[in-house]
Chain A
């Protein structure tokens, strides 16, 4: 899911930087209003937690293990705006330290996994479950929000890849960036995420949320009363 350098043309990564910066600016303001002076250490903690969640391997059906992108569970636990900052900070640290994702693609990666994915996950979860007493429904909602948000994010990423041959080719038609057009990128990304990675994300999201639900439901942001700022 992490887009490396070299796959996206400047025509794609520059606007995505713009979108991410705008979303991050709004997120900082929203969270600042919600948690006042505590916002810096709170978001630092959320970002570190987000980074750590991405490092946990869990066994999944089929005899393999997988790790989550984590944006869905972070959005359910911390709220979508805090998740935007937390996940983007985790992604920036991953890019700079691990080389996981490209520097030119930071805007694209953060927009996909730290803006789009948390919002989809949060609203799908809210839509499917708003009563912590109905536990089975909460597990189901957590699974679907993890599954759906990852699959839709994969399709968005595939669309970003798929438009490269259209918008950035050489004069003789050779691809200069991602060589796969929409007819290849979207089915390839969608199928593997529909059949495997989406299920992994869903299981991990449901597992973590279920533990919070059993022990301290009030820690789950999605079940707290939404304040005036919507944060």
Chain B
């Protein structure tokens, strides 16, 4: 089978940061590596979604509707049991979709840990969520009062605090998992087209599609120019010069993107584009789609009712 992934994306990333005394170019490596890694992961992710699995058989329109419905259900389900049942259901879908769970969940857990745990962990303390103290963290000599804030003498994790943190963590985890499940099983262009069924105008969808394609082209230019830059840099570089350098690269990227935009516009005109267009989205639903819609709707209602 012909590999549809561009060769550039299959090449190994640039070598990692070189640590040498007096050479301060790690910012460059960081940007280059981040950019290249992001681009490759986006594209390979979209290509990976072409792998045969049962979720892929569902129409992108149904998947998008299900995603929106489920994310709303997750946002209004306010008890731990409902969120836990949702987690189990999503995990089952991941397993059934034959996705590489360990790889996908590494990304999901990282995001959920940052946004759903680290940020909300202070809410487990009685300073923010009053309740019965489960274990004490610190004991002050006296309670503190300043301006509008009151800090109790005994600061500790409360039962209510644990419930609040758990609920938010599970909600964040479930929402990210849902989104990743759809992204990993649907090519991005099909997902964007599906937005038409929820009323997003063609103009906006076309802009998203074009931007998505431009991003790959621009990222490749960035990687090439940075590689050229990096190979010419030596010695210690002042932060001020680094900023000038990056400013110049961004200006260069702007100029290149302007040239690409002009080229795209002329190519579109030569193919008959006159400023109006209509994106065609297949509305045909298979029996599999209808069954999926009913199952998702029923599970969503059950989760809300728990």
A residues bordering B, Cβ < 8 Å?
4-7, 9-10, 13, 24-25, 28, 32, 36-45, 47-49, 51-53, 55-61, 65, 77, 85, 89-90, 92-93, 95-100, 102-104, 170, 172-180, 183-184, 203, 207-208, 210-212, 215, 219
A52's partner among B148, B222, B277 (CB-CB below 8 A) is B222
Contact B176 A184 (CB under 8 A): no
For B175, the chain A residues whose CB sits under 8 A away are 4-6, 102-104
CB-based contact B244/A207 at 8 Å: yes
Query: Inter-chain contact count A-B, CB under 8 Å?
Result: 216
Whole-angstrom CA separation of A100 from B120 in the bound complex: 17
Interface of B is mostly: helix
Q: Which of B31, B72, B167, B210 contacts A56 (CB 8 A)?
A: B31
The reply to whether B212 and A93 contact each other, CB–CB distance below 8 Å, is yes
Q: Which residues of A contact B247 (CB under 8 A)?
A: 207-208, 210-211
- Residue B97 lies at the interface, judged by CB distance under 8 Å to chain A: no
Supposing A28-B203, A55-B35, A179-B128 touch, asked if A90 and B211 sit within 8 A by C-beta, the answer is yes
CB <8 Å contact, A179 and B168? yes
Q: Are B168 and A45 in contact (CB under 8 A)?
A: no
**Can you identify 6 A-B contacts, CB atoms within 8 angstroms?**
A4-B115, A6-B75, A44-B264, A48-B218, A180-B123, A184-B128
Residues A56 and B123 in contact, CB atoms below 8 Å apart: no
Q: Is the CB of A5 within 8 A of B75?
A: yes
Taking a contact as CB atoms under 8 Å apart, the answer to whether B78 and A103 are in contact is: no
Q: Does B299 contact A (CB under 8 A)?
A: no
| Among candidates B172, B208, B268, B269, residue contacting A5 with C-beta atoms closer than 8 Å | B172
Contact A176 B167 (CB under 8 A): yes
| A183 contacts across to B, CB distance below 8 A | 148-149
CB distance from A217 to the nearest CB of B (A): 12
CB-CB under 8 A for A97 and B188, given A48-B218, A57-B30: yes
B139 contacts chain A at the CB level, 8 A cutoff: no
Q: Which of B45, B204, B251, B274 has the most CB of A within 10 A?
A: B204
From A36, A89, A104, A172, contact of B207 by CB (8 A): A89
| Across-interface contacts of B71 in A (CB, < 8 A) | 5, 102-104
Contacts of B288 in A (CB 8 A): none
A166 to B: closest C-beta gap in Å: 14
B186 shortest CB reach to chain A, Å: 10
B108 adjacent to A99 (CB under 8 Å): yes
